[in-house]
Structures are given as structure tokens and as C-alpha cells.
Amino acid sequence: MIDRDTLLVTLSDLHSGGTTALFPDRFAQFSDGSNHVQNSTQQRIYAHFLECAESVLAARKDKRLIIVHNGDAIEGDHHASQQIRPRERSDQIDIHCELIVLFKRLVDFHNGDKLYYTLGTETHTTNAENVIGEKLGAVQDDDDLYVFKELKLDINGKRFWFVHHGPTRGKGANRGNSMRNWLKHIFYDLVAENMEPPHYIITGHVHDPDWGDYIGRLDGQYHKIEGLICPSWQQKTRYGYGVSPFVRGKVGLHHITVAAGGETGDPVELIMK
């Protein structure tokens, strides 16, 4: 990519089709004859979605824009869940595309900007993210698919790696430990293979955002890997309350500015109050 001031925006885990996830502000009728309109949770999420788009629009002024959706674009039909509408994956794909088209318009996505998709959890998405990527004009991988298993971007000399599944944030006094250990393992595995470690690894899946780092020695110098876990666009489901009781669901996105010379600012995290 040509060096140019860039705003990198990561969306993750839209879970389109979940009744606790982001949904368009309209009455929708689906292919199976069912219909849906935003519930109160979805109204709050949608309002935050518009606020995030406004923030991204301001931050991207005079910059190239790169948007990455980092897995679990749709909810799918799984585990006999009652918190799914629409249930048909084709309808969920349409809902997701509608939301991303809206986001692109609100943030003034134009020629020179890029959209990428990574694979999410198979139970949720099957091959939906490749279908979505093609519909939305996402960048293709080396196999001509519109979704990446592991996305590796060089942005102005900074190496950003994206994958949906990664560490958890950890709980209580152990918060942050799993992130640091995960980054440490990756660092030394890459060094052992004579491969260059990235500067950032960005994950999703767990719906509980975090930011951590690991600093190791590489060729006699110190190299830092920063790890980011994305927030989601889905409030907790019944399943979520079972696996993470008393933990608040966190909805939103983050963005990072990468200057043409490679300088990066701290990640800006926009979490729904």
C-alpha cells in the first residue's frame, strides 16, 4: 500500500440476525414470512452505531480509510436459540450488508478506501462472510475469496494481523495475563521460524475488549507486539449470561491512526455507555 495517513477501523462480531445485536431502523419482513422491528436494546445499539460513524467521519478527514470486519458477521441458526430473527442465513446476510452499506456511506467511504473481512466462528457464519465480502466489494485473498482466514496488512510500515479467535481478557487479578502470554508465545514461535513479528494483532470473538502488549528481544533490539480485542455489536444473549455472569456486554468499535511515516496513536475505543 502507498504510504499515506490512514485511519484503520475495526468492526467485529455484528452477529446480524441476533435479537440482541445491531439491527436497521426499519420494519423488516423476511423470506419465511416473519418480521422484526428494533427492540429497545437494538434501538440503543443503533444509536451508538450512528455516533461511532460520526466519530469515524471526523477522524478520517484527509486520510485513507481501511475498514476490517473481524469475524462473526451473522448470528446463524444454532443451538436451538430463541434469540434469532431472521433465522434464514440469506436474510441475515442481507441485514448485515444493509448495515455496512449504511456505515460506508456515513463515513464517506470512497475510491482508495479498503474493506476487508475475516472468517468468524463456523457455527455462526458457515461461508456467509465470503458471500458478504463479494456483495460489498471487499478485498480478495490469494485464493480469490472475499474473506481472509488470517489477514496481514502492512500499513505505512506497520504490520497489522487480524484473526477472529484469540485470547480472552481474563478476570479479576488475572486480567491481561492471557493476552500477554498469547502475544509472547506468538513472538517466540515467529522468532524460531525466522519470521518477522507483527506490530499489532487484532482479535474478536469474546465480546470483551482489551489492549495489551509484549516486548521481546529481536536481533539485539526490543520489539513490541500490541494486542487488541475488539468489542462487539451484540449485547449479551442468554448463552452469554451463562458463560460470563455479572460482566457487562460491551458494544462498539475501535480505530487507530497510522501516519504516512508509520507513527501510530493509541487506539480510540468507542464503547456504548
pLDDT per position as a tens digit, 84-135? 999 999 999 999 999 999 999 999 999 999 999 999 999 999 999 999 999 9
Confidence band of 244 (pLDDT split at 50, 70, 90): confident
pLDDT per position as a tens digit, 142-160? 999 999 999 999 999 999 9
CA angle at residue 239 from 236 to 242, to 5 degrees?
Answer: 95
Residues facing 16 on adjacent strands: 74
> Do 132 and 15 touch, CB atoms closer than 8 A?
no
State the pairing for strand pair 28-29/114-117: unpaired
Indicate the fold that domain 6-271 takes in CATH. Answer: Purple Acid Phosphatase; chain A, domain 2 (3.60.21)
| Of residues 5, 151, 145, the one with CA closest to residue 71 | 151
* Whole-angstrom distance, CA of residue 159 vs CA of residue 152: 7
State the pairing for strand pair 151-155/158-162: antiparallel
What is the reported pTM?
0.96
